[in-house]
Chain A
Amino acid sequence: MSINPVYHQTELKIEEELGWIQRAKQDPECFAPLYRKYHEQIFRYVYQRMDDEEAAFDVTSQVFMKALNSLNKYEYRGVPFSSWLYRIAKSELYQSFRDKKAERTVNIDTVHVFHVIDEIEQDENEENKQRLIECLSKLKEEDMQLIEMRFFEKRSYKEIGEILEISENNAKVKSFRALEKLKKIFIN
């Protein structure tokens, strides 16, 4: 199941959002609907990458504070407001890692591990499961985040592209290459 079933929205919903944003630029209190709508999504994105629950809630709060403070700089580009929030979240996350306030973690389920094993065309058994987990920890951050978003969080390439500010096709290519690298590490 996708971590993010509400990401893709109708044009009507996006327009509704735009109305909230315009009002929130005049009055911060009007930011509340956006905060309520995206709080869980952003928290789950952050918590997926952290070990400490309280730290994840703190970072989530930082994301929305920053978003509200920078709301006048926000430009509507025909994509959900959440894609901008995810970019802020990514920045806040990596800042907290750099400041050593949090540890970069990947949280996965066994079922996701077996999906990846299937993708790299290996047998689904306990030995390979442990081996893959070890291989995942050897991946570079840029490859890990692609594997994480595509195979653990089940995000679409379009969504991945918007979060990473690359095209959908490029997201597909990069995800494919990350998987190839993982496969190489696994085989070797």
Chain B
Amino acid sequence: MDKIKINLDREKLSSEYIHSKQDFKKITGQVQVGNSIAKSTWFYGVVGLASITLIISLTLLNSSTTDGKNTTLKTQQNTIHTSIEKVAVPATATFSMTGKPSSSTPTPDKNEVRVKQQKAKTETTTQPEKVIIEEVTEQKSANYQPLEKKVVVEPNYMPHVAGHYAGDIALSKLCGKGIEINESVEIQSFKLYYSTLKGDKTILVKSNQFPEEVCKEIKAFGLDQMVFITDIIGTDELGVKHQYTSLNLTTYID
């Protein structure tokens, strides 16, 4: 779509003016034509006849052997005479299937690709935005060819809480160690946006830990709720301040 045009302080239209522009007849005008056709007897007659013919055709196709019969079907509008003849079908029908069914489980690739992260394995969830992928080679057989490419893994600079970068997290974990990045970064502060029984709140926390009062409020709120963690400021090993990516987590009471 093209660039959006912005109008500032445009004159407002009054409710009376808008009401004066109502035209219900214009709306129903188009609809009435369609309805009048649908309501005619002629229309229902044609539809009924077509439906009955279809039913009879399907019955004839599905039956394997039938006796010759003359049947009379009566409808509201029409009387239809049908003649059912014997349909010859082979006494035995054989079917053959070729090929093996495809495997339900996909076969793994020879070279397994894993995403390597700074911390130990996490329970869940979505991958961090920027990840260096290391191709891991495993000697599975004598014919196995190792990969030529090797990529060096760099420290992960994605903030997380107990290994959670996004998705669901138990409240006990949220209120445990707090926000971490990697060993060289120390979190100084962050902003937290969350809902309480009294409404939404945004607070500035000057540490990496979630305050106890906040944890109590989240627990009292009860429902699975999303917390937004933004403006994460940390200092690296040289003492330089950086701002890190925001994250949002959905808490559940464990």
Q: Which residues of A contact B (CB under 8 A)?
A: 28-29, 31-32, 35-36, 39-40, 43-44, 47, 51, 53, 57, 61, 64-65, 68-69, 97, 103-110, 113, 133, 136-139, 141, 144, 169, 172-173, 176, 180
Residue from B7, B193, B226, B230 within 8 A of A107 (CB atoms): B7
SS of B interface (majority): mixed
A109 and B32: CB pair below 8 A?
no
List residues of chain B with CB within 8 A of the CB of A110.
8-9
B31 and A69: CB pair below 8 A?
yes
A65 and B31: CB pair below 8 A?
yes
Q: A104 vs B6: C-alpha distance in the bound complex, in angstroms?
A: 9
A65 and B5: CB pair below 8 A?
no
Which of B15-23, B55-63, B210-218 lies at the binding interface? B15-23
- Given A40-B19, A53-B13, verify A136-B27 contact (CB < 8 Å): no
Q: Which residues of B contact A (CB under 8 A)?
A: 1-10, 13, 15, 18-19, 21-24, 26-28, 30-32, 34-35, 193, 225-226, 228, 230, 246, 248
Q: A104 vs B3: C-alpha distance in the bound complex, in angstroms?
A: 8
Closest-CB distance, B76 to chain A (whole angstroms): 22
Q: A44 vs B15: C-alpha distance in the bound complex, in angstroms?
A: 10
List residues of chain B with CB within 8 A of the CB of A106.
4-7
List residues of chain B with CB within 8 A of the CB of A65.
27, 30-31
List residues of chain A with CB within 8 A of the CB of B8.
108-110, 113, 133
Closest-CB distance, A56 to chain B (whole angstroms): 9
B22 and A105: CB pair below 8 A?
no
Q: A142 vs B124: C-alpha distance in the bound complex, in angstroms?
A: 28
4 A-B pairs with the lowest CB-CB distances in the bound complex, closest first: A105-B5, A107-B7, A28-B31, A107-B10
A64 and B4: CB pair below 8 A?
no
List residues of chain A with CB within 8 A of the CB of B228.
173, 176
A40 and B18: CB pair below 8 A?
yes
Residue from B3, B6, B18, B34 within 8 A of A39 (CB atoms): B18
B6 and A68: CB pair below 8 A?
no
Residue from B28, B30, B34 within 8 A of A31 (CB atoms): B28
Residue from A39, A69, A133, A180 within 8 A of B19 (CB atoms): A39
CB-CB nearest in chain B for A111: B9
List residues of chain B with CB within 8 A of the CB of A138.
3
A108 and B1: CB pair below 8 A?
no
List residues of chain B with CB within 8 A of the CB of A139.
4
- Between B1, B6, B26, B35, the greatest number of chain A beta carbons within 10 A of the residue's beta carbon is seen for B6
Closest-CB distance, A172 to chain B (whole angstroms): 7
A172 and B9: CB pair below 8 A?
no
CB-CB nearest in chain B for A47: B13
Q: A21 vs B5: C-alpha distance in the bound complex, in angstroms?
A: 37
A39 and B22: CB pair below 8 A?
yes
Q: A144 vs B250: C-alpha distance in the bound complex, in angstroms?
A: 25
List residues of chain B with CB within 8 A of the CB of A39.
18-19, 22
B7 and A35: CB pair below 8 A?
no
A104 and B4: CB pair below 8 A?
yes
Closest-CB distance, A131 to chain B (whole angstroms): 12
List residues of chain B with CB within 8 A of the CB of A51.
5, 7
Q: A103 vs B5: C-alpha distance in the bound complex, in angstroms?
A: 8
